[in-house]
Amino acid sequence: MTRELSYAEAVREALRQAMEQDPGVVLLGEDIGTYGGAFGVTDGLLEQFGPERVRDTPISEAAITGCAIGAALTGLRPVLEVQFMDFITLCMEQLVLQAAKIRYMFGGKAQVPLVLRTPAGAGTGAAAQHSESLEAWFVHVPGLKVVAPSTPRDAKGLLLASIRDPNPVVFVEHKLLYRTRGPVPEEPYELPLGRAEVKREGTDVTVVATSGMVPRALAAADRLAEEGVSVEVVDPRTLRPLDTDTILASVRKTGRVVVVYEGVKTLGVGAEIAARIAESDALYHLQAPVVRLGGAECPIPYNRNLERAAVPQEEDVVQAVRQVLAA
């Protein structure tokens, strides 16, 4: 029987196994050593690997990212942690203008194999500057890969694959997922980047859900099953590259689609997914327009009830499926 780990434990195990296998894997970030990271993910790694490989850094996201890029260019495989995804704004120049473009500008002769881990999402009462889901910004940038696992098993396998990838990867970890538990193999394994997974088979409606929205989509599917509605839930897992084939295959089967994502609805990941459906032959299989369910057009509020209202909840997914069935 496969043992269970929490999402946070699965990420920690992936980091530990990568560091055990490759002495070039190093960790950088604010409070990741003695404190164990803002959410305790790196707890215990300093004691095992020492301060040369688990480095507490100054409070400067730009400096951390620049240091990681330099380390990657010289042959290391750095994994840096940005404590909250909101703070990724402070390292945009290094990440977007440098890391994403160096391999292209040097004709492939230079590589930047780094992973930027960052907790995203609302639900912890952390308010407007610590609760954003900004993954769509980075999906827009050629040269970056963007990964957003929803389960402990996916988190471990996709992180190991990201660390071994020769390109810079933005690895998005939803804060509310850290305590969720699931089966995780003990041995090291990689899950391929750019491959979606059907988390639940169904025939009536396809729900494409990302990151922290996946558990809510699955819970909504359970509720709708009691009403006789069969919902298929597709988790892209990797947002860039996006596995369009798996999504389109599901759309052709069900003929109805709801796309659920936590980032602000306008120009979010769901807009790209909806556009790819519209540009493909799957359009002719649709029996109703695609429904996008995204975050509200506002900063994330501190108030608990307002915070819930600002991002899709299980009930919102249920209502969206009913809407597309009634169209």
Residue 1 confidence (pLDDT) above 80: no
Q: What are the angstrom distances between the C-alpha of 31 and each of 42, 80, 89, 182, 304?
A: 9, 11, 19, 27, 28
Please tell me which residue in 9, 13, 30, 61 is annotated as part of the active site.
61
Element (H or E) spanning 66, and its range?
helix 61-73
pLDDT tens for 256-299 read: 999 999 999 999 999 999 999 999 999 999 999 999 999 999 99
Contacts of 264 (CB under 8 A, 6+ apart): 294, 295, 296, 297
pLDDT tens for 52-89 read: 999 999 999 999 999 999 999 999 999 999 999 999 99
Note if 174 is an active site residue: no
Reported confidence tier of residue 326, pLDDT bands at 50, 70, 90: very high
- The domains found in the chain, sorted by start residue, are 4-183 (3.40.50.970), 197-326 (3.40.50.920)
Residue whose pair of structure tokens reads 């003990």 in the numeric block: 186
**36: alpha, beta or left? (left if phi > 0; alpha if psi -120 to 50):** left
User: What span, in angstroms and rounded, lies between the C-alpha atoms of 143 and 23?
Assistant: 25
Reported confidence tier of residue 42, pLDDT bands at 50, 70, 90: very high
The helix/strand/coil state of 27 is strand
Please tell me which residue in 30, 130, 132, 135 is annotated as part of the active site.
130
Q: What is the pairing mode between strands 145-147 and 115-120?
A: unpaired
Per-residue pLDDT averaged across 164-187, rounded? Answer: 98
Supply the pTM of this predicted model: 0.96
Note if 187 is an active site residue: no
